[in-house]
């Protein structure tokens, strides 16, 4: 397939991902509201908010890096999408494989960090007295999540002798018994547990501290920059679910299968968040260094021997 066709299909896929991410987000907010005895926001609200924010302008300035933070976060989400094979078609150059290549797994791990570091630098530029607290919280927990997640992903790469996500998905075809979930359960357990921190729901959402600290990106940013963050959040949540789907759940052979699997993966983090109370940062760091990291190391040893 030529580069123009790939770009067209990538743009169509990105449009699907953005809308599916917003729909998935509002669906789980509705589920949470129903469990709390409330009606919740209407399903159209994410699109209304996005259009409203994009049409709003601000005259407040905090410096260039402050406004590059949301741009970095959106760029990280789009970067993950562009190099992520979305649908397995039996052809590495298929319609929905995007721009995946032999070492795309390593590049995607870098893009995961890209948005977090951009937001950290943007917060530091804002000048708010609590910015340092948010940056320290975010980077400490992010490091605790990334260590077991990276080791578990390395175990999968060793198991299949490749850093190509497409080849990892290809090796899992032929039935659910070939999924990494069953061929390397310890690495899978590490990813499933680390995923809770990566998606940022309770009990690992003290970085944003909803209902406790009335500051942060949702209140500090406005207008188009807040619209960028909303779009980035929709893309990143879907793409992280797709990444975990490709690594341990056999990938997807159609968009319908992708939507169903990503919904169930995301629902796991939402379910845990509704059941367990919020951890302190030190509690979450100890937890990630204890259980996910232990499972990841065992999974790496299994893949090596």
Q: In this predicted model, what pLDDT tens digit does every residue of 94-121 receive, in sequence order?
A: 889 999 999 999 999 999 888 888 778 7
Helix and strand tally (H, E) in the chain? 12, 0
- What token pair was written down for 255? 């968009």
Looking up tokens 């500051």 gives 215
State the pTM of this model.
0.93
145-194 pLDDT, tens per residue?
Answer: 999 999 999 999 999 999 999 999 999 999 999 999 999 999 999 999 99
Average pLDDT of 271-290?
92
200/212 Cα distance (integer angstroms): 16
Per-residue pLDDT band for 217 (boundaries 50, 70, 90) equals low
Quick one: pLDDT at residue 13? 96
Give the rounded percent of residues in the chain with a pLDDT score beyond 90.
Answer: 63
122/289 Cα distance (integer angstroms): 28
Report how far apart the first and last C-alpha atoms of the chain are (Å, whole number). Answer: 39
Quick one: pLDDT at residue 21? 96
Is 216's pLDDT higher than 60?
Answer: no
Longest dimension (CA), the chain: 60
Beta carbons within 10 angstroms of residue 141's beta carbon: 23
120/131 Cα distance (integer angstroms): 9
CB 230 within 8 A of CB 50: yes
Per-residue pLDDT band for 20 (boundaries 50, 70, 90) equals very high
CA 59 to chain centre: 31
Per-residue pLDDT band for 134 (boundaries 50, 70, 90) equals confident
243/84 Cα distance (integer angstroms): 8
CB 249 within 8 A of CB 192: no
Nearest to 296 by CA among 221, 187, 195: 187
Count CA within 13 A, CB hemisphere, residue 255: 9
Is 87's pLDDT higher than 90?
Answer: yes
- What's the mean per-residue pLDDT of the chain? 89
247-256 pLDDT, tens per residue?
Answer: 999 999 999 9
240/250 Cα distance (integer angstroms): 15
Q: Which of 188-192, 234-238, 273-277 has the lowest mean pLDDT?
A: 273-277
Is 92 strand, coil or helix? Answer: coil
Nearest to 258 by CA among 85, 113, 103: 85
304/224 Cα distance (integer angstroms): 48
Name, in order, each residue with C-beta under 8 angstroms of 177's C-beta and a sequence gap of 6 or more.
none
Q: How far is CA 83 from CA 96, 226, 292, in A?
A: 10, 25, 26
131/6 Cα distance (integer angstroms): 41
Give the rounded percent of residues in the chain with a pLDDT score beyond 70.
Answer: 94
Q: Which is more confidently placed, 167 or 137? A: 167
236/15 Cα distance (integer angstroms): 13
């Amino acid at each position: 397939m030529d580069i123009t066709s790939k770009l067209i299909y990538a743009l169509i896929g990105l449009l699907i991902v953005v809308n599916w991410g917003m729909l998935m987000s509002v669906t789980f907010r509705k589920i949470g509201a129903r469990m709390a005895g409330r009606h919740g926001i209407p399903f159209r609200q994410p699109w209304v908010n996005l259009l409203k924010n994009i049409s709003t302008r601000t005259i407040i300035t905090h410096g260039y890096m402050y406004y590059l933070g949301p741009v970095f976060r959106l760029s990280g989400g789009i970067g993950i999408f562009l190099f992520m094979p979305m649908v397995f078609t039996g052809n590495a150059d298929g319609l929905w494989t995007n721009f995946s290549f032999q070492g795309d797994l390593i590049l995607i791990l870098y893009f995961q960090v890209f948005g977090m570091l951009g937001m950290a630098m943007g917060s530091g530029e804002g000048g708010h007295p609590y910015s340092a607290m948010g940056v320290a919280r975010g980077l400490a927990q992010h490091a605790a999540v990334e260590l077991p997640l990276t080791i578990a992903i390395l175990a999968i790469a060793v198991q299949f002798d490749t850093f190509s996500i497409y080849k990892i998905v290809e090796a899992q075809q032929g039935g659910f018994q070939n999924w990494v979930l069953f061929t390397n359960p310890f690495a899978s357990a590490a990813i499933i547990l680390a995923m809770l921190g990566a998606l940022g729901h309770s009990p690992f959402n003290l970085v944003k501290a909803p209902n406790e600290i009335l500051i942060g990106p949702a209140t500090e940013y406005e207008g188009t920059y807040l619209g960028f963050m909303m779009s980035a959040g929709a893309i990143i949540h879907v793409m992280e679910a797709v990444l975990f789907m490709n690594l341990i759940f056999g990938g997807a052979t159609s968009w319908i299968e992708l939507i169903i699997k990503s919904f169930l993966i995301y629902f796991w983090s939402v379910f845990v968040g509704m059941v367990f109370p919020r951890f302190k940062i030190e509690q979450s760091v100890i937890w990630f260094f204890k259980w996910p990291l232990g499972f990841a190391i065992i999974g790496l040893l299994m893949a090596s021997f």
